[in-house]
Structure 1
Amino acid sequence: MPVPAVGSSLRLSPDESQALRSLPAAVQIIAKRALQGSVKDLERLLDVISVKTASRAVCLVPIFHATLESVQVPNYINSNTTPAIMRAKWALMGLVEFCTIAPLISNGMDDLETKYIVRRWDQIFPWMRFFARNCLPPPYDVSLAPPRPDLCDMFDAAKLCIHPLTFICHNSEEVRHMLRSSASVQHFVAQLWILVGNLKGDVLEGDPRITKDNLVSMYRASFALTNYVCVSESEDSDKLTLPLSNFIHAAGGVKPVVFTILRYIRRITRDAAKVEEPRSWTPQDQNVQQLYLFTIGLSYTFDFLQTISRQDPSCRSQLIRQGSIRVVLDAITQILPKILVQANNEMDLDPEMGLGTRQEVIWMGYLYIASAIRDADDGVTGICQAIDAGILETMRKGATCASHSNHRNRLPRGRMGDMELLLLLPTFFIYHRVVDSISQHWYRIKNSPMPVDKREVRDKGLGGVLQIVLTATTHAMEHRAVKPMNFHECRCSGPGCQMHASEFVGKMRRCSGCLISLYCSEKCQRAAWRSGHKKWCQVLRCTVGPWGSRDIRKSLQITGGFETSTISERGKDVEARVRKARQQFPAFSNKLVLMLDMTVFPTEIHVLPLHRLEQFPGKDPIWPEIADEIRERSDSPLKGYMFSVVKVHLGNSKFTLFSPSTVLSMAF
């Protein structure tokens, strides 16, 4: 016989009623009263749900579902609607408690979370939004009191709204697709994400088993997955997903998103750094579990950071402006010695908490930094942030930490985010601002009160690449040390005029064509034009790129130094490539150009016909004349090419520039 709900139409199916008879008699009485509408008894059912009674707790789930079916979300809160609200609260709380123990009773068969939570989403989600709206503080000002804390305290409200999303995201692709495709659910998640990011450590009370600060920390770390899923790409390419702009709009705009994601990184890092050193590195150790939770939370936060940076240019530029590279690097620096600990086979090879998983968090952070610099309009600023924040020191620490790269079982190294970032750095060493940051790095090392870490380099791959990059930093400083530095910016370019730029700063004239030459007066400018600037103006402009970037203009001597040293050191390679190009392009053997590709490290050398160059006015009749003059004024034998060019990048834009070393020596 079905168990009737006295005073209502609630009923359980015969099978569900039969399942209840397996419970102790006292629990059956409580269940019967709960179905009859007793709020107190519905609450008492939660005490029955525990790990010890996990196998029998499933039969209580239909009671919670039946209760939610019997009540509707009210438009108003008053004495008439309060009983229904309280019934919904405890029914929803029962389902949340069930989520906690569901992994213990699933037995690898049916996904119980999908069966009992996801497929009842139309009943559950409206109540989650109701309790979030009425029992949690506003997302953007958590100092305000919730509208109706009497209905549900903040601890229970947070549990009702956050736990279901966190649990079902891990295992259910159906839920992950819902988060990506439902505007209302995505709006709800975005608001919760902002709220959790703004919560302080002492605002949640109610659970005596968990400290207040630790509870907020766990919410922050665990909710990172739910938030990342909202903006991630679907596993099924045929399924529709909402654009990133929908999530950004729901969260209040670009600035709230940027400030919140950086706040998450800082606070999760702080929480991870506070975890005590585990007594025993085993998956069962509580401190190991906490470290795992925080590092995984940080990993998903880095994933989210990289996604919004890649997909939205406004987010990318705002993130760099707010120091995201510095924040990520600081997080890596703090957690690196905590998690790169080589323990034992059981721990290091664990599929979830092993050393490979922990190393992956570090790589994700490095991958974000690399992608932010590579995709930005102004990658020079990003590189300077990274060097100023200590990227080279942090990489050195990573190379000396006990890494799985020398583990006797040799786990795979993964995506190598650290090496990818390291090999990106030298491609910006041609810029004056970056070399200034490099000089400050070495000054810090020289004057640091702490001795330089002399430990053995255990990650041989990372250590080898790091040493090559450090050598490149010394070369960059050598090219910068050439005096006078940026002479074309220091004095008038008029023929015979020795006036220093500081003397005519108020009347400074810069050539609008080349953007390089400075003049103290119109007289000097006209004289320079007649004496040869007319011929070299266009060539000079091709040395600063089509945008006339200030970073390129201020760095011509450093770029020219790298150009000259590369050609000199790799002379045999240049000769071989010239011979090959003559065979490949016989019709253009007298119009070959040497291109040094400095957008990659080490610099690549190519020899191409003049007309094959990108972003370069190769058809202009002035270039053969320039090439002849270069040959006449060259002290070395004929090289087999007209002139050299360099290919550089500022971030996502690449430019082919006429030889800085040539143009500076001949045009001035």
Structure 2
Amino acid sequence: MPFAAVGSSLQLTADETKALKSLPAATQITAKKALQGSITDLARLVEFMTLSISRSSPSRFCCLVPIFHATLNSVQVPKYINPKTIPAIIRAKWALLGLVTISTLATSLPSYGSDDAVTKYIVRRWDETYPWMWFFAQNCLPPPYDVSVTPPRPDLCSVSDAVKLTISPLSLICTKSEEGRHLLRSSVSVQQFAARLWILVGNLKGEVLQGDSGTTTDGLVSKLRASFALTNYVCVSESEHPDKITLPLSNFIHAAGGVKPVVFTLLRYIRRITRDVAAVEEPRSWTVSDPSVKQLHLYTVGLNYSFQFLQTISSQDPSCREQLIRQGSIRTVVDAITQILPRILVQANEELDLHPQLGLAGRQKVLWSGYSYIASAIRDADDGVTCVCQAIDAGLIQTLEKGVICPPHAHRRDRPVRGRMGDIELLFLLATFFIYHRVVASIFRHWFRMHNVPTEKREIRDEGLGAALEIVLTSTINAMDYRSVEPINFFEYRCSGPGCPMCTPKFVSKKRRCSGCLVSIYCSEKCQRTAWRNGHRKWCQVLRCTVGPWGSPDIRNSLQVIAGFETTQISGMAKDVETRVREAQQKFPAFSDKLVLMVDLTVYSPEMRVLPVHMLEQFPGRDPIWPEIADEIRARSDSPPKGYMFSVVKVHLGKSKFTLFSPSTALRMAFEGQYFSDDEAYDPVDEDEIDDSKSLGDQDLDCDSDPLDNKC
């Protein structure tokens, strides 16, 4: 005969009643009293499961699940807390704890089928479990934005239990239930719930939670923070099945309070998890059972998902991307990698290094996630130069130099493979920005720091990374050499009027920058008119094509460095250039006299291509001025180009790419005779001290017309 609750509608089916008979007699009596409404006996069932798991299989306790579901189904979520509703609230608390406990126990035994347990007991009964999860979060947890406030009713449920009732189910769903992960991605209310908890956990400082009787330790808060990173990432990640609905990122951002709270909370997560990793004691033995190894695994997994969440919101939302960079996300990620790298890139033993969860591949994965975010931030940003400067100033190159100590088993076929965007790929991406003046300034600071740090000899186990570092570091030295050639950016420090010795610090009035080319500056109207008549009329458009269509200050201030890389590449690959010219003449016979050599500096190592001038992107190839310019280059150059009109350089500032007219040619031809002579006094001024923010408004010069019309 089935169990029936006295004075209640609770009832189990015949099969469910039969299943209870497999339990000890005392437990059967407790279960019967729990169905009859005894809160004490309901709590005993949960405690019985927790205490008996070491001696029994979780499957033995599955027969108790219908009792917990029946209890939840019999009580409604109250709108108010009063003496009449308190018994129902406490019954619901123990019933929900029972479901969470049995699901958690199931996850400890993979052979039991934890995916099925979490899906059946929690996800598919979401209409029963979720309202109570929300109730306990609302009434028994501190407010997300002020965790110092004591929860209003700790007598109903301690903060420690409230965490188990609200956060633990989400963690179980994310790790063990595909159906549950889809629920998190597709439900507006669930994402609002997860965002609220994410903000709350992010604001916890690691002390005992307010409102609890001292049972919530600092270690639990750290583990909670690391484990919740996965829940947060799942909410915004792509579904495993493309045909299933995924809510837009804006929904989660709105639920969390906006872009700034999301950015601040995420960076706080990363910094605090990094601190937790650094605080883990050195493992006594690098084995699977060592507690420190398990802690390191938990925290590095949390960092991994935090980095992935960081990359997701950065790539999908421009506002988040800009705010993250503004708040120092690149520095935060570099600092995190720098601190955790020596803790996880440790040569242990073959058993641990090749372990599917705790092994070296899993430990390295967090590094690849961090490197991937930095790379995506640089590639997708409008101002990739600033991102690269932040990365170098944060010590990214030094950190990558430390990575050569790993991986072990370098000569084994089963060594862990790199990620899609690993350390070598990031190194080569950085190298494509060494052409910029600001980046070279960061490189100078890098070498200055290295000069003051004692040299530490390391065994290079990763030969691929070691070789890439050697190439890139050589490129940094070349960049510094190009930037140091005097006079540095002469066109920024001296009047461009023919024969005018006036330096910019001695200008009586504000400098006059040509609004056509954005390069030439003049001390007076007389000099600008003279320059126009003496050739600037022709080279103005060429110079404008040398600084790009928007005249980026970063490109303008870096022409000298770009010219250095351009000249070195062309001279160093002379035979390859001749071969490519012959191939282009055969491929484009109708344009054999209008070929252009492109030096592509957006990739590393730089590539060479030869194309007809009209096929170049973002370049006025059909303008009739280019044949005339090509003739002048041949006439005035000691070694004119053979087989092509002139060279161009392809650069990028992040997501924007530009094809520039050859800086080396433009500077040499447009400012012939304007270089400082050896006997001239030169008062160098850092171009950063020259205010270019108003240069276009300070007597700009329009060189589209004759200067006699007062337009130039």
**TM-score normalised to structure 1 length:** 0.97
Native 8 Å contact 1:2 1:12 kept in 2: yes
Q: 1:40 to 1:66 in 2, by over 3 A?
A: same
Select the residue among 477, 481, 484 that pairs with 2:480. 477
Q: 1:88 aligns with which of 92, 105, 121?
A: 92
Please name the residue that 1:148 is paired with.
153
Distance 2:110 2:354 in 1: 25
Output the amino acid matched with 1:10.
Answer: L
Aligned partner (choices 562, 565, 587) of residue 590 of structure 2: 587
Aligned partners of 2:158 and 2:212 also within 8 Å = no
The structure 2 residue matched to 1:393, chosen from 395, 398, 415, is 398
Which residue is 1:99 aligned to? Answer: 103
Query: Is the 1:205–1:212 Cα contact (8 Å) retained in structure 2?
Result: no
Contact (CA 8 Å) 1:596, 1:645: kept in 2 or not? yes
Mean Cα deviation higher: 373-382 or 52-61: 52-61
How far does residue 409 in structure 1 lie from its aligned partner after superposition? 4.1
User: In structure 2, what is the equivalent of residue 608 of structure 1?
Assistant: 611
**Distance in 1 between the 2:392 and 2:619 partners?**
32
**3-state SS of 2:515 partner:** coil
Q: Does 1:5 align with 2:5?
A: yes
* In structure 1, C-alpha distance between the alignment counterparts of 2:288 and 2:232, rounded to whole Å: 26
Q: How far apart are the structure 1 equivalents of 2:437 and 2:667? A: 16
| Mapped contact 2:208–2:215 kept (Cα < 8 A) | no
Moved more, 463-472 or 38-47: 38-47
1:483 and 1:208 mapped to 2: Cα distance? 70
1:67 correspondence with 2:71: yes
Does the aligned pair in 1 maintain the 2:106–2:112 contact within 8 Å?
A: no
Asked if structure 2 preserves the Cα contact closer than 8 Å seen for 1:405 and 1:412, the reply is: no
Is the contact between residue 377 and residue 653 of structure 1 (CA under 8 Å) also seen in structure 2?
Answer: yes
Cα distance in 2, alignment partners of residues 234 and 634 from structure 1: 60
Query: In structure 2, the residue corresponding to 1:474 is in which secondary structure?
Result: helix
Give CA deviations for 1:14-66 in whole Å, capped at 9, x if unaligned: 12112222222222222222111122221222110132243422121111111
The alpha-carbon distance between structure 1 residues 516 and 522, as it changes in their structure 2 partners (threshold 3 A), is same
1:132 maps to: 137
Cα contact 2:393–2:445 (8 A) shared by 1:
yes
Q: Distance in 2 between matches of 1:55 and 1:491?
A: 84
Write the letter of the residue equivalent to 2:17: S
Tell me, yes or no, if structure 1 residue 113 matches structure 2 residue 118.
Answer: yes
Equivalent position SS for 1:107:
helix
Residue 280 of structure 1 and its aligned partner are, at CA, apart by: 1.7
AA in 1 matched with 2:420: R
Equivalent in the alignment of 2:17: 17
C-alpha distance in structure 1 between counterparts of 2:500 and 2:255, whole Å: 61
Aligned residue in 1 for 2:422: 417
2:173 aligned with 1:168: yes
Amino acid at match of 1:421: L
Which consecutive unaligned segments of at least 5 residues does structure 2 have?
672-712
**Identity value in percent:** 71
1:560–1:660 Cα contact (<8 Å) kept = yes
- Tell me: CA distance 1:47–1:122, structure 2 relative to 1, closer, same or farther (3 Å): same
* TM norm structure 2: 0.91
Deviation at 1:640, TM superposition (A): 1.4
Matches of residues 318-357 of structure 1 in structure 2 within 5 Å?
Answer: 318-357=323-362
d(CA) in 1 for partners of 2:489, 2:13: 86
The aligned amino acid for 2:512 is R
Relative to 1, partners in 2 of residues 1:331 and 1:651: Cα closer, same or farther, differing over 3 Å? same
- The letter for the 1-side match of 2:610 is V
**What corresponds to 2:688 in structure 1?**
none
**Superposed CA RMSD:** 1.7
Structure 1 range deviating more: 395-404 or 243-252: 395-404
Instruction: Write the distance in 1 (CA, Å) between the matches of 2:297 and 2:580.
Output: 52
- For 1:269, the aligned partner's letter is T
Q: Which amino acid aligns with 2:81?
A: I
Alignment partner of 1:241: what SS?
coil
Q: Which moved more, 1:204-213 or 1:421-430?
A: 204-213
Q: Give the CA deviation at 1:413.
A: 3.3
SS at match of 1:410: coil
Instruction: Give how far 1:116 is off.
Output: 1.1
Distance change >3 Å, CA 638–CA 645, structure 1 → 2? closer
Contact 1:543 / 1:658 at 8 angstroms: preserved in 2? yes
Aligned counterpart in structure 2 of residue 233 of structure 1, from 235, 238, 255? 238
Q: Deviation digits for residues 176-233 of structure 1, max 9, x if unmatched?
A: 1111110110111111111111112113389999861110111111111111111111
Find the counterpart in structure 1 of residue 501 from structure 2.
498
Question: Which residue type is aligned with residue 511 of structure 1?
Answer: C
2:559 counterpart of 1:556: yes
- State the 1:108 CA deviation: 4.6
**Structure 2 counterpart SS, 1:117:** helix
Alpha-carbon offset, residue 453 of structure 1: 2.2
| Counterpart position of 1:40 | 40
Q: What secondary structure is seen at the aligned counterpart in 1 of 2:593?
A: coil
Query: In the alignment, is the contact (CA less than 8 A) between 2:408 and 2:461 conserved in 1?
Result: yes
Q: 1:295 aligns with which of 286, 295, 300?
A: 300
Distance 2:228 2:200 in 1: 11
Q: Is 1:525 equivalent to 2:528 in the alignment?
A: yes
Kept after mapping to 1: 8 A contact 2:148/2:210: no
Distance 1:524 1:364, change over 3 A: same
Amino acid at match of 1:585: F
* Match of residue 511, structure 1, among 488, 507, 514: 514
Following the alignment from structure 1 to structure 2, what is the Cα–Cα distance between the partners of residues 315 and 295? 24
Q: Match of 1:625? A: 628
Pair 341,406 (structure 1): closer, same or farther in 2 beyond 3 Å: farther
Asked if 1 retains the 8 angstrom alpha-carbon contact of 2:151 and 2:211, the reply is no
Deviations 1:74-111 (A, max 9, x none): 11111111111111111111111112211246635571
Aligned to 1:568: 571
